[in-house]
Structure 1
Amino acid sequence: LVNELYPYIIEFEEETKNPGLETHRKRKRSGNSDSVERDAAQEAEPSTRLEPGSNPSQCSVPPKKEKDASTKKESLGHWSQGLKISMEDPKMQVYKDEQVVVIKDKYPKARHHWLVLPWASISSLKAVTGEHLELLRHMHTVGEKVIADFAGSSKLRFRLGYHAIPSMSHVHLHVISQDFDSPCLKNKKHWNSFNTEYFLESQAVIEMVQEAGRVTVQDGMCELLKLPLHCHECQQLLPSIPQLKVHLRKHWPK
């Protein structure tokens, strides 16, 4: 009866026969617990281990990521500042005076594609104020002069204007022929940046600054870069850039 009511008595009796067994079992269980704790500590160790000579308040991984991000930012910054380098390069210059310099676009999107840049440091259209009105007018005049000097005999049509959200730092006026005959014109973004409202006419920008003292860029401009490809001359819808380029030949002056 005792055995049926208290089944563990058997275990107790066995342990009394071998006093060292309970101690052995307890030690074994204790050893397993220590092993689990050690495993957990080792799993956590890679995220907290410090490299020799590193800051003890930081782990090794985040500084590496921070360095990578910093390097990427510096690289991007250098690329976006490219115009400032090009405008100082005599090989790129086609005209300059005390206020502006004109350079050839490094990746022209047409047969004729120049950029008019002020020597004054103006990061973008957002930085333009009423004080820059005469400068904007001068930039437009110089753009027309360059067309006359370098493409005067051409029957090509030209447009002068600014990108609403430029990819390069330092305000610049595009002077571009409307043939768009260039291997550098490769995708929908390139096309729509010159053939939608994303491209702000130079005279419209001048009038905006004259009336409001600043340039206002509407929201959602980036969505214009995703629009379908339409011919800028006849508005025909084209499915791809290669097919658009073939179509454009129909509109080239003869």
Structure 2
Amino acid sequence: MRALNCRRVVVKIGTSSLIHSSGAINLRTIDRLAYALAALTNQGLAVVLVTSGAIGVGLDRLHLKARPESIASQQALAAIGQSELMRLYTQRFADYDAQAAQLLLTHDVFDFPVSRQHVLDTIDALLAVRAIPVINENDSVAVDELDHRTTFGDNDQLSALVATQIGADLLVVLSDIDGLYTADPRRDPEATLIARVPAVAPAQLAAAGGAGSRFGTGGMVTKLKAAQTMLAAGKQMVLCSGADPRVLLQVVAGEPIGTWFCAEG
């Protein structure tokens, strides 16, 4: 068992977990995620969700199979998809008597002390009334991620930034892979799961790369950078599969799920 000792948790879920490979919205995953977050809140934990998926949901709503190339078209998809994504979250959270609250952020919010403090105060106020902040990058305003120059990387690094800024003890990244392996398990049958990583090695960063799906912009390298951010702040991160978000209950309970990024001692 892992001694996580966490009271404040940030959960990040990626587009690949929220959208089927066919492009349809994965309603079961959203429902199970809402259940798990509500259960953790009922246990007395302060929980924040960082979600991707706005453009993926927008593609589904407009019955499009391919992501458009123009920035304006992607922003329009994000605007459509974000409202639908929040409708689904609000609906499913309400089924478990949990309150969702939306925050759309851009990178400059954290660059300026005044706006950063306002956001942190808002999150603290929401957590004080046991609401669950649902955070996404404001893709309809910020074009960096859409143009693939973002420092967030499909919200992996946004989640680490939020986690360190609000003093979270743990970041859980739900992904389309169940942890960090010695090699790509989709290509190397001898690849083995690494249970604990005390520090992210340069060789691991160099070996990582590529987006996980056609709907998202992240990949293993952005997850490792998120882990670096957490470790540098003296915090923990767990990378595990988002196929069934109810795994969050096991992770927070300290069960050895996925890869645990935690410094020795």
TM-score by length of 2: 0.28
Q: What TM-score, normalized by structure 1, do the two folds share?
A: 0.29
Tell which has more relative contact order, 1 or 2 (C-alpha 8 A, sep 6+).
2
